[in-house]
Amino acid sequence: MAGGFDLVLKRGTCVTPKGTLVADIGVREGVVAAIGDLGRQPAADTIDASHLHVLPGVIDTQVHFREPGMEHKEDIATGTLAAVKGGVTTVFEMPNTKPPTTGEAELADKFARARGRAWTDIAFFIGATPENADRLGALERLPGVSGVKLFMGSSTGTLLVAEDAAIERVLRAGVRRLAAHCEDETRLKARHALAVEGGTPHFHPVWRDEETAVNATRRLIGLARKTGRKVHVLHVTTAGEMALLGQARDVASVEVTPQHLTLAAPDCYDALGTLAQMNPPIRDDSHRKALWQAVADGIVDVVGSDHAPHTLEEKAKPYPQSPAGMPGVQTLVPLLLNHLHEGRLSLERLVELTSRRAAELYGILGKGAIEVGFDADFTIVDLSARRRIANSWIASKVGWTPFDGMEVTGWPRMTLLRGELVMREDEVLGQARGRPVRFRETATEKH
């Protein structure tokens, strides 16, 4: 619209790098064009955001959408639909699909599948293997690639790089921050009988114990320092790891999940059984408290959902044949808003954990803040709305959440992607318009 805006968000409480303020946001050609009192300036469309908070579009940097190869659990269309219903505008999808995403062909196939079907903007990780280690430096620089994912311990799928020599080769092969699943494979194998003999999911954190995680994280930090490669430790679950990572800010950044911040053993296994089973496991309340302390201390950089759905039929298998993982992309925002309501974090810290820091760590262009020139991605929330999370609300193909029946305060009311309204009051609107995420050429984070 000549001389005006395509869209103006009116009178929302906007969380910006310059502070939290009531302001209008003018959008033109998919990007933020103005922030302030825009008065009666012409606009093709307006949205009244008064009494609501406008956050930068939430970035979930760890999802498993199961396509290709496991589409009976989830696919790119249903996974990203769940994301926008939950207020998420950008996702990073993990490589442990069938086949795993380990080269150019598999990556091209995923982008082709996402075209016209992804409701969010999307990036894909390349999975590290001993076989592709020497090519990772080139692969991580391909357009739309969020980086390299390293599995030090076996989880869902076949990707595994367990030995220090092979991990060192992977670390030396590139320059971008590497994302790692830290569980010690030797200890996992040695302790597996504990899970079989225990026979219930209560034994999941016994088998995959604290030392299994701490050992792997300690090894990764040492190798990161040796090679000069920065790493991002995913879904940290233990007090011991947080103590190590607090002293390793020079090389390591930290993710936690809403599940590990919200649930605790043994109660979650009593109530949910195998629905609470994930890798690394939900642990007891002493570890959950340590995670929250790390959030308060600034050790935690990012909250990612580790959305990893399995069908209820698969989850009903006897433990430990039951698969590990649970849906999470749609409940990430409501859970964190509820923790905000209960005083565990500030609104500014929530934005840092869900958008700003992810953009910095991964070198995302045009996202992570409400700023002129940035993509007009917004997660508009009602901090006072009281809702009950229910399976009937879940858009994921598996149709369940471990948080079914939980009452929360705080709810996503609208999701906008590049200035287009894609969700309003639980209704998904328009058509899938997601694009590949753009990254800075060097993707070296700011400090």
Among 306, 375, 404, 426, the active-site one is: 306
Rounded to an integer, the average pLDDT of 325-338 is 98
What is the three-class DSSP state of 194?
Answer: helix
Confidence of residue 159 (pLDDT cuts 50, 70, 90): confident
Q: Kindly tell me if the per-residue pLDDT of 368 is higher than 50.
A: yes
Residue 162 near residue 152, CB atoms below 8 Å: yes
Confidence of residue 156 (pLDDT cuts 50, 70, 90): low
User: How far is residue 365's CA from residue 123's CA, in Å, rounded to a whole number?
Assistant: 12
User: Annotated catalytic, 306?
Assistant: yes
Q: Kindly tell me if the per-residue pLDDT of 430 is higher than 90.
A: yes
Rounded to an integer, the average pLDDT of 143-153 is 96
SS3 content of the chain, % helix, strand, coil (to 5): 30, 25, 45
Confidence of residue 225 (pLDDT cuts 50, 70, 90): very high
Reference 35, options 18, 58, 47, 51; nearest CA is 18
pLDDT for the residue numbered 441:
79
What is the three-class DSSP state of 383?
Answer: strand
Tens-place pLDDT, residues 51-61: 999 999 999 99
Helices (H) and strands (E) in the chain, counts: 15, 17
Amino acid at 57: G
The mean of the pLDDT values for the chain is 96
User: What CATH architecture is 58-362?
Assistant: Alpha-Beta Barrel (3.20)
* H-assigned helices in 60-124: 76-85, 104-114
pLDDT for the residue numbered 214:
98
Sign for the pseudo-dihedral over CA of 55, 409, 79, 253: positive
What are the boundaries of each domain within the chain?
Answer: 7-54+373-428, 58-362
CA distances to 1, 41, 256, 268 from 234, rounded to whole Å, are 44, 45, 7, 21
User: How far is residue 307's CA from residue 316's CA, in Å, rounded to a whole number?
Assistant: 19
Sign for the pseudo-dihedral over CA of 183, 187, 190, 192: negative
User: How far is residue 358's CA from residue 256's CA, in Å, rounded to a whole number?
Assistant: 12
Tens-place pLDDT, residues 106-141: 999 999 999 999 999 999 999 999 999 999 999 999
Rounded to an integer, the average pLDDT of 14-28 is 97
pLDDT for the residue numbered 173:
95
pLDDT for the residue numbered 153:
81
Q: Kindly tell me if the per-residue pLDDT of 446 is higher than 80.
A: no
DSSP-derived secondary structure for 314-345 = HHTSPTTTSPP-B--TTTHHHHHHHHHHTTSS
Reference 6, options 37, 33, 36, 27; nearest CA is 27
Q: Percent of the chain at pLDDT above 70? A: 97
Q: Does domain 7-54+373-428 have CATH number 1.10.287.3510?
A: no
Beta-carbon count within 10 A of 149 CB: 25
Confidence of residue 258 (pLDDT cuts 50, 70, 90): very high
Strands (E), 64-184: 88-93, 121-127, 145-151, 178-181
